[in-house]
C-alpha cells in the first residue's frame, strides 16, 4: 500500500498545484474537476464549508476514481476526517494545526496537510505525523520566511504556500523551497463560467510549466 507521502508526490508530479474549489456545488463539481484534471492538476480539495461538500467529494471519487487525489479542505474536527474517509477521500487539508485532526488522518492512512505558520506549529504537525505543511496565509509571511523555516525543518518536509500565491509570484516561492501551492479564486469561484475556469486553469498551468 502506498504511503501518504508517496501518494501526494505521485499526484503532484505533473503539476504542483492543489486546486481549492471553495463554494462548489454537487451540480458543478464534475465539470469543474474535469477541466482541472485535463490540464494536469491532480490534487483537488473541496472545502467543507462549501454547499453539500461531502456529496461533492463522493461524486468526484465515484466519477474519476484514481485519476486525481480528492479530499476535503477547512477540516476542523476529527469526526469530519471519518466522514471524508467514508466518502473515499484520501486528502485532509486544514487552515489550522489540530492534533486530533492530524492524528485521525494519519490513523486512516490519508494525506494530512494542516495549516501552520510558526516553527512551533510546524514541528507539532510533523511530530503528529502530518504528510506536509500548509503555510497559511502565505502572503502574510513571504518567500523569505520559507527560506528561514526550511533551514530548521527536516530536509524532506513538504511545504505548500496557500493564500496570495499564484502564477505571478510562483517562481519566487519555488526558489524558496516550497513543494507546491494551493490556489482558490484564481482558478475557481462558484459564479465563474466553465469557459472562464478553463481559461484560468490553462493560464496558470502554462505559466508554471514555463
Any idea which residues carry the catalytic annotation? 45, 134
> Which residues are within 8 A (CB) of 76 and not within 5 positions of it... i.e. 6 or more apart?
48, 94, 95, 96, 98, 101
Q: Which residue has the cell 465563474?
A: 192
Closest among 204, 166, 201 to 182, alpha carbons compared: 166
CA distance linking residue 13 with residue 15, whole number of Å: 6
Cell triple for 16: 504542483
CA distance linking residue 33 with residue 57, whole number of Å: 11
Question: Is there a cis peptide before residue 137, judged by omega within 30 degrees of 0?
Answer: yes
Partnered with residue 17 across adjacent β-strands are 181
Closest among 20, 7, 1 to 111, alpha carbons compared: 7
Amino acid at each position: 500500500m502506498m504511503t501518504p507521502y508517496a501518494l501526494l508526490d505521485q499526484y503532484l508530479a505533473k503539476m504542483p498545484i492543489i486546486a481549492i474549489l471553495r463554494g462548489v456545488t454537487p451540480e458543478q463539481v464534475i465539470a469543474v474537476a474535469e477541466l482541472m484534471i485535463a490540464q494536469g492538476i491532480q490534487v483537488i480539495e473541496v472545502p467543507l464549508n462549501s454547499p453539500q461538500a461531502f456529496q461533492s467529494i463522493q461524486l468526484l471519487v465515484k466519477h474519476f476514481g484514481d485519476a486525481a487525489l480528492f479530499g476535503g479542505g477547512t477540516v476542523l474536527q476529527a469526526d469530519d476526517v471519518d466522514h471524508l474517509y467514508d466518502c473515499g477521500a484520501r486528502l485532509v487539508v486544514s487552515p489550522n494545526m489540530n492534533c486530533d485532526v492530524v492524528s485521525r488522518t494519519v490513523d486512516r492512512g490519508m494525506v494530512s496537510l494542516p495549516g501552520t505558520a510558526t516553527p512551533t506549529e510546524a514541528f507539532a504537525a510533523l511530530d503528529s505525523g502530518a504528510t506536509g505543511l500548509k503555510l497559511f496565509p502565505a502572503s502574510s509571511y513571504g518567500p523569505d520566511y520559507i527560506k528561514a523555516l526550511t533551514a530548521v525543518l527536516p530536509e524532506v518536509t513538504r511545504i505548500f504556500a496557500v493564500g496570495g500565491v499564484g502564477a505571478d509570484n510562483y517562481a519566487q516561492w519555488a526558489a524558496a523551497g516550497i513543494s507546491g501551492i494551493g490556489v482558490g479564486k484564481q482558478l475557481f469561484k462558484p459564479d465563474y463560467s466553465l469557459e472562464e475556469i478553463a481559461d484560468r486553469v490553462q493560464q496558470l498551468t502554462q505559466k508554471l510549466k514555463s
